[in-house]
Amino acid sequence: MPTGRFFRVNSKGKLNALGTLEELLAGRKSDGYLWLDFVNPDRDQLLALVEPLGLHPLAVEDCLDADQVPKFNEFPNHTFVLFNRCRYAAGELGIDEVDAFLGKDFLVTVTRAAPENVAALTAKLDEAVRGELDSARHGPDYLLHVILDHALDDAFGVIEALEEEIDGAQETILAKVSEFKPEALIRLRRHLLALRKSLIHEREVLVKICRKDSPYISEKGIYNYRDISDHLVRFFESTEICREMISNLMEMYLSLLNNRMAKVSNQTNLVVKRLTLITTIFMPLTLLAGIGGMSEWSMMTGPANWKLSYPLFFLLMGAIATANFYFLKWLDRRRLSQAEMVGEPERSPLSSESGRGA
């Protein structure tokens, strides 16, 4: 629901609320300056200010268009500034627009936000302005500084929240890499890119203000905006550091996951080698046992010679097993010698087995 509030700020630092726009404009020549604050206004509310305040229609259109980037435009009767206010809740980043028309004796602010956030934003803005009335009494450019500084403080809270989530993701990766979900890093990176985009354009806005492109910002008021510019530079560096940390965390996650998979693969290969060794040794024994179990052995030696045939059978099984073992060991030594010649030492499965058994 669109709302509009009208105030007069006098030279003594008092904020007087007025009921209607007509009442506000009627006392325009009085002491102080005008402050018109709108939240989600419609087109008619803003177009009503074009004639009495000299607002440019193109600037009004920028207020009504969504998804605008921060900008600074100079018009004949006012300076138009578009800034962003960031918020972060439930893992999602929200960016609201704060538009300002700065004139010689007036300031018009337009805020666009979700209906459920309007009450909280209005309360925070009132608290910030009333706490800086001693500074705001010097002119509308000082009040604009208070509002922009208040909007930038929200970006600091967003950066802190993102840094905490990055630290939590790092702890999770180091503690339980298999349970970590890389989608969290992708989401954080997306939020940082959106925040970085906003800060880049806001930095350009402050550069234009600090080089005195606006005639409605006094020489003394420039120093306040330079302070905001310093904060922007620091916040922008923080976002760059967070982006680099996310890239490093993604590399660390992939490296740890790859090491974990390599470890599992090595364990699987070792098990397969053991099973292959056992199968190779016992395969001829299984064949021999199958022949003996089907009575062919007793048929070949004769049932009367069982006292000689069965000990001979077991001796033959042991001989075959021993021959298989030493044959595989010879093949293993040959493979190791070839690997050492090409500079790739490998560990023998037979030697590892015998070492474990010893």
Banded pLDDT at 296 (limits 50, 70, 90): low
Which position has the higher pLDDT, 338 or 219? 219
Note the pLDDT of residue 71. Answer: 92
162-179 pLDDT per residue, tens? 999 999 999 988 888 888
Set out the domains of the chain in order of their start, with CATH numbers: 3-256 (3.30.460.20), 295-357 (no CATH)
Banded pLDDT at 15 (limits 50, 70, 90): confident
Q: Three-state SS for 12?
A: coil
Rounded to whole angstroms, the Cα distance separating 39 from 120 reads 12
Identify the helix (H) or strand (E) that includes residue 228: helix 222-293
Banded pLDDT at 303 (limits 50, 70, 90): low
Rounded to whole angstroms, the Cα distance separating 222 from 217 reads 7
| Stretch 322-343: mean pLDDT | 76
Q: Is it the case that residue 2 has pLDDT exceeding 80?
A: no
Identify the helix (H) or strand (E) that includes residue 62: helix 57-64
**Mean of pLDDT over the chain:** 83
Note the pLDDT of residue 260. Answer: 83
22-72 pLDDT per residue, tens? 887 777 777 789 999 998 888 888 888 888 888 999 999 988 887 788 999
Banded pLDDT at 355 (limits 50, 70, 90): very low
Note the pLDDT of residue 240. Answer: 93
183-210 and 222-293 are packed helices; what angle lies between their axes, rounded to 10 degrees?
160
Kindly compute the dihedral angle of the four CA atoms of residues 194, 199, 202, 203, in this order, to the nearest 10 degrees: -150
283-295 pLDDT per residue, tens? 776 776 676 655 5
Banded pLDDT at 358 (limits 50, 70, 90): very low
What's the gap between Cα 275 and its chain centre?
Answer: 46
What end-to-end distance do the CA atoms of the chain give, in Å?
83
| Stretch 209-229: mean pLDDT | 90
Banded pLDDT at 21 (limits 50, 70, 90): confident
Banded pLDDT at 195 (limits 50, 70, 90): very high
Note the pLDDT of residue 354. Answer: 45
Note the pLDDT of residue 237. Answer: 93
Note the pLDDT of residue 277. Answer: 73
Nearest CA among 241, 250, 136 for reference residue 199: 241
123-149 pLDDT per residue, tens? 888 888 888 888 888 999 999 999 999
Asked if 63 contacts 70 with a C-beta cutoff of 8 angstroms, the reply is: no
Least confident of 24-33, 95-104, 241-250: 24-33
Longest dimension (CA), the chain: 135
